[in-house]
Structure 1
C-alpha cells in the first residue's frame, strides 16, 4: 500500500488493495492466496526465473572457488537476467538483484569474458585493459587505441575520472608501436591521462603542468572536446590552490578571442565550480561585477556564446539575490544568444533557472513547461550527468501537490538507479526536495535515505546554503515523526544559518532569503 498509494490513509489504501486483488483474481490465470492480512500473488515467469538463478548459487560458488575458467563460464550461462526486472527501480528489490548480479560479474571475470563484462559495465577498466592487450597481441594496434578511447569516454562521462597509470602506460606502448607519429588528439589524450594520474596521486603541481600543456595543444588544434577536459583538470587544480576565479576568467578570455566556438567547452568544464562560486560559503558578493566583466569581454570579442554565458551568470546572481524580474531578463537574453550559437548546455541552464524564477513567482505551470523544454537539451548536451538531475530537483519543487511531487521523486530515483554516473553536487537539489516530499508523505525511511545522501554530498564542499537546508529537512523529518519540540529547535538552527548567509551576501534587510539555494545549487528555503 505504501508503494502504490503513498498519499492515501491506511484504510483507503487497504480498500484499493482489496479491489485490485479482486480484479486480479477475475482476469489472471495465476493464483492468489489471502491469509489474515497477507496477500500473496504468484508471479509466474519472473519468480521462476529468480528461483532458477538462486538455485545455481552453489554451482557458481564452487566454480569461483575452483578458479576454472570453463566452470565459471558454464555457471555464468545459467544467469538469465536481473532479478525482478519489472521492479528495477524499487528499493525493496535491490538487495536480491545486487547479490545475483555481483555473483554473475565475478563469474564473467573469472571466465575472462571481457566482452560481456563491458556490456554490463562500460567503465570496467580491467576488462578494457584486457581487451587492449588482446588486440595488441593479435597485431590490431588501432583497435587497442580505440579501446582506450572508449574507456576514457566512459570514465569521463560516467564517473568523472581518468584511466589509471597501468592503462595509460599500455596506451603509450600502443602509440609507440605505430609507424606514424601520434595525432594531436592522441597527444592531448595521453597528456590528460597522465595529468589525471598525477591528480589522483595528490601531485597537484604536476597535474597542473600537464593540464596546461594539454590545454595549449587543444587550443592550437581547435579541439573543443579535449579543451573541455583540460579545463576540468585545470579547474580542479585551481580550486585546490584557491585561484579558480582567475583561472576561469583567463580561459574565458582566451576562448572568446579565438572565435573558434570553444567558449561552451570551457563553460561546461567549469560548471560546478562556477555554481560553487555563486553558492559557496563566502556568499555571492562580487558575482555581479564578475559577470559584467565577462559580458564586456564577450561583447568586445563578438562572441555570441560568451554573451550567453555571461548573461546566464548575471541571471543566476539576480535570482539568488531575489531580483526575479531582473533575473528573467538576463536569462531570456542568455537563452536567445545560446539558441543562436547552438550551445545546448547554456540553453538548458537558462530554461532551468527561468523555471526556478517562475516557481518563486508562483507560476508553477509556466515552470513545468520550461522544464519540459529543458529536458531534451540536457540529455543532448555534453554534460547531461550534471544537467538532467538538476531538472528533476526542480520538478519536485514545481509540483502542484504531494502526489505529483512523489511522482517526480520516483522519476529522479529511476534516473539515479539507471545512470552509471550522476554528478553528486548537482544532485543536491533533488536529494533535498525528495527528502522533503517523502517526509510530508510520511514516508520517513525513504526521506532519511535521501537526507543521508544529501549529508554525504554536503561534505564535498562544506558551507553555504547546504548546511542550512539540511537542518531544515531534519526539522521536517522530526515534525513528520511527531517530535514537535525537536523540530522547532532544528528550524531555529536553519533560520540562524540562513540569516548568516544573507548577511554575508549583503542583501537589503527587507529581502527574504532566496527561496532556492541549490547545489551547488541548493534546496528551497521555506522559513516563516
Structure 2
C-alpha cells in the first residue's frame, strides 16, 4: 500500500502529510479537490454519503451533473495525494483513505479537551489549549459546510481557556468575556497593581458598551469599588468614582429600576460638573434623558438641564446636547414628534436668563429647522433656521449641533434639487462629525440624509461609503433608521433583494421602539419597494404603500406621503 499514515492539519491552516511527505500547497490547483479532503477529514470516521457531499458543494446541481462533479473532484484529489485509494467512491459513500490510518489535529485537540474538561483539570486544560493551532480553516471563512464545526471548536477552546485559568488569552479571544476580565482584576488587586486593575475595568466597560450595549454586571462593579477603596491606595479620583457610579446606573437601568438609575446618574452628573468631566457628564445626561423619556417628560427635563448648564457651566453645555441628540432624533419619530420638537425649539430660541443664551438659540433654531424640513411646510423658514443654527453652533464650538445643522441643510438642498450644494454640505458635515464625541449617532444620521434625491447608482455608492465610514462603530439604532430604510430601498431597486431584506430586517426590529409614527410608515414603504422588485402582486404592493402614506399623513410628513401616493398611482 505504500504509506500507512495520512495526517490532515485543519486548525490554523490546511495541509496534508502522507507518511513523512507533506503535499505542497501548489498542487491543489482545483480548490474543490482540497475542499473534499477537508470535508471528509472533519466527518465522523472520515466518510460521508455522496448526497451530503453534493449538498455541501453543489446544492443546486441536477443528479447527473452532481455525480460527474464528485467523480472529477475525487480523481483530482487522488492525483494530488498520490494515493490510488486517497478518495474512494463506493456504495453511495465517499471515503478518505479507508485503507490507511487517518488522523487530524481537530481530533487530537477535541480528545484532549474532552478529557481535561471532564476532569476539571486546569493543568490538562492548559495542555489541551496548546494543541489548538488556530481557527478552523481560516482560508475558508465563508464556507458554510465548515461554519458549524468552526463555531463548535472555538466554543470548546474558550471553555478550555477558562478551565485552564488562561484569563489573558481568553480576553484576547473574547474581549466581552466578563469573568476573564474580573479574574484578571482580582489577580492585579492581589498583586498590588490597582492602577492596572482600574484600567482593566475601564477596558471591559468600553468593550461591553461598544460591542453589546450593556454594562458590567454587579459582581464586577462591586470588585471595582473594592479596588478603588483598597487599603494603602490613594483616594479615588473624581473620574474613577464617577465610572463606578455610572456602572451602577447602567445596572439599575438594565433592571428597569428608574428610581435608582435616576439617583445614581444625578450623582454622577453633579460630580462630573464639579470635576469638569465631559465624558462622564455626557453618559450621565444620556441616562437621565432615557429615564425622562420613559416617563414622558424628556422635553421638559432636557430643556431644564440644558438651560441650567448654560447658566452654571456653559463650557459643558455642548456635552449635554451630545447626550440628548439621540433623544431629539427619537422624538422626531413619534406620531406627534414634529410638533413637540418644534415647540422645544421655540422654547430654546426664546430662552432668557443670566447666561449667554447663544447656545440655547443655536439649538432652538436647529430643532425648529429640522421640524420644518421634515414637515415640508415652509422650506424658507427651514433654511433660515438651519443657516442660523449652523452659524451659531460653529461660533460656540458646539460641533455636534454644527454637524447636524450642516447635514440638514444638505438635505434641504437635495429637496430643492440642488444636488451639487447638497454634496458639498454632506462632505462638510461628515468631516465635522468625526471631530465630535458621538460619531455613532451623527454618521448614520448624515448618511441617511444623503439618500434624499439620490439616484440608484449614487445611492449604492452612499451605502458603500457609509459601510466603510461606520466600520467598527456601534451605531445608534434610532439614529440609523433613515440610513437602513434608504439602503434597503436602494438595494431593492438595484436588484439586490437579499441585501435589501437584511437592511429592512434591522429597520423593522428598531421600529418596534415606537408606537406607530413615521418609522413604521417608512418600513411599510421599504417593504413595498422590495415586494415590487420581487414581482409581488400590485394589490400587495399597493396595500403597503397606502398604509405608509396614511401613517406619514398622521405624523405630519406630507412630502413622504406624497411620494408614497405617487408610487401608488404609478401601480395603477
- TM-score, scaled relative to structure 2: 0.73
Q: Which has the higher contact order (CA 8 A, sep 6+)?
A: 1
Please tell me whether the aligned partners of residues 552 and 561 of structure 2 are also in contact (alpha carbons under 8 angstroms).
no
Q: What is the CA-CA distance between 1:403 and the residue it aligns to?
A: 2.8
- Number of aligned residues: 468
Tell me the residue number matched to 1:463: 516
- Residues 512 and 429 (structure 1 numbering): CA distance in 2 closer, same or farther, change over 3 Å? closer
Aligned position for 1:154: 207
* Alpha-carbon offset, residue 375 of structure 1: 2.1
Partner in structure 2 of residue 494 of structure 1: 548
Cα distance in 2, alignment partners of residues 279 and 525 from structure 1:
23
Please state if 1:243 is matched with 2:293. Answer: no
Quote the residue 1:346 is aligned against. Answer: 401
Distance 2:551 2:214 in 1: 34
CA contact (8 A) 2:545 2:565 kept: no
Counterpart Cα distance in 1 of 2:350 and 2:523: 38
Confirm or deny: 8 A CA contact 1:229 1:269 kept in the other structure. Answer: yes
Structure 1 range deviating more: 469-478 or 120-129? 120-129
Q: Which one of 353, 356, 361 corresponds to residue 302 of structure 1?
A: 356
Please give the TM-score of this superposition, normalised by the length of structure 1. 0.78
**Residue pairs, 1:225-374, within 5 angstroms:** 225-297=279-351, 301-322=355-376, 323-374=378-429
Aligned partners of 1:470, 1:437: CA distance in 2, in Å?
A: 13
Matched, 1:110 2:160: yes
Cα distance change, pair 60–407 in 1 and its aligned pair in 2 (3 A): farther
Query: CA shift at 1:446, angstroms?
Result: 1.9
In the aligned structure 2, how far is the partner of 1:359 from the partner of 1:133? 56
The residue number in structure 2 matching 1:12 is none
Could you tell me how far apart the structure 1 residues matched to 2:320 and 2:258 are? 20
Q: Aligned equivalents of 2:352 and 2:170: distance in 1? A: 47
Quick check: 1:261–1:305 contact (8 Å CA) kept in 2? no
Q: 1:437 to 1:316 in 2, by over 3 A?
A: same
- Structure with higher Rg: it is 2
**Within-5 A mapping of 1:397-416:** 397=452, 399=454, 401-414=455-468
Counterpart residue number, 2:125: 69
| C-alpha contact (below 8 Å) 1:397/1:405 kept by paired residues | no
Report the CA distance between 1:317 and its aligned residue.
1.5
Deviations along 1:215-238, one digit per CA (max 9) or x if unpaired, are 122222222221111111111211
CA contact (8 A) 1:299 1:307 kept: no
**Cross-structure match for 2:49:** none
| 119 and 308 in structure 1: CA distance in 2 versus 1, 3 angstrom threshold | farther
Any stretches of 5+ residues in structure 2 without a counterpart?
Answer: 1-25, 33-57, 73-103, 118-123
Distance 1:70 1:437, change over 3 A: same
- Structure 1 counterpart of 2:500: 447
2:307–2:360 contact (8 Å) kept in structure 1: no
List alignment gaps of at least 5 residues for structure 1. Answer: 1-27, 41-54, 86-91, 506-510, 517-522
Equivalent position of 2:432 in the other structure: 377
**CA–CA distance in structure 1, aligned partners of residues 237 and 516 of structure 2:** 44
Q: State the match for 2:7 in structure 1.
A: none
Q: Which residue of 2 aligns with 1:183?
A: 237
C-alpha separation between the residues in 1 aligned to 2:562 and 2:447?
A: 17
Contact 1:396 1:409 in 2 (8 A): no
